[in-house]
Amino acid sequence: ATDWQGMSRRDLVVVGTALSNVSTFPKVGDRLMQGVINNLVMIRSFKGNCRDLPELQVNGNSVIDDGDPYWMGISQGGVMGPSVLALSPDIPKGALLVGGISYPLMISRSVDFHEYEVIFRVWYPERIDREILMNMMSSLWDGAEAATWVPHLIHDPLPGVAAKQILYQVARLDSQVPNIASELAARSMGIPQLAPATSSIWGIPDQEGPLSSALVYFDIDAEPPPPGNQPAEDDNGTHGEQRYLDGSRLQIN
């Protein structure tokens, strides 16, 4: 509903500059935290003063639903959404689709990073240097990074924030957000995988529903990405297709 400051088109210059000169990376972390704050304020505003705006009324009635808001995050919204959910006292539940946590873990495995890698490689030609720098820089975005906040979503909520209900949907063999990052998120949340499941996941129990929170894998016939911390050459389509599956929509509804 609003540009995610730190990762919007307006941030391309800031991000590109940071990849060519990592000493400027603190700007990226600051803008990412501002993006989280913007979403928190937007949610609170729509629950409050926005109801009285004439631009958001029809025949004197507000177009804003008076029920509890919920979070529907796909891709970047599934990656950054846990940060908003863990910090927001206004949202009781959320659906997170094709998300993951830990950008240093995801970036080297994501097909989306190819165009950014071109910039990064010019200024830091050694792969080992790029990996070390990316992990060192991670402390600069910890304030916004979902890995910081997912442990507080359900089992250890922050003061003044209730525990959430989370539906975590993942596309198997995702070439954009690697499954290893999605499973790390589920383990960090402490949620089970909905049973019956096609395969077990280390550290994540299988449980039959109904459940208040759960991980659900969706299998889409696709070429698997390469093993290890390297990206696929081309997008295998799973990341973009998962959201359109009837089963996914039915679960969310």
User: What are the tens digits of pLDDT across the range 52-103?
Assistant: 899 999 999 999 998 899 999 999 999 999 999 999 999 999 999 999 999 9
Task: Report whether 55 contacts 45 (CB < 8 A).
Answer: no
Question: Which residues of the chain are modeled with pLDDT < 50?
Answer: none
Percent of the chain with pLDDT over 90: 86
d(CA 179, CA 95): 17
Picking from 40, 23, 26, the residue whose alpha carbon sits closest to that of residue 142 is: 26
Amino acid occupying residue 203: G
Query: What is the structure's pLDDT at 2?
Result: 78
Query: What is the structure's pLDDT at 185?
Result: 98
DSSP assignment, residue 217?
A: E
Query: What is the structure's pLDDT at 1?
Result: 66
Compute CA distances 29 → 56, 134, 137, whole Å: 33, 13, 9
pTM (2 d.p.): 0.93
d(CA 52, CA 13): 37
Compute CA distances 196 → 51, 62, 118, 200, 219, whole Å: 43, 43, 42, 10, 13
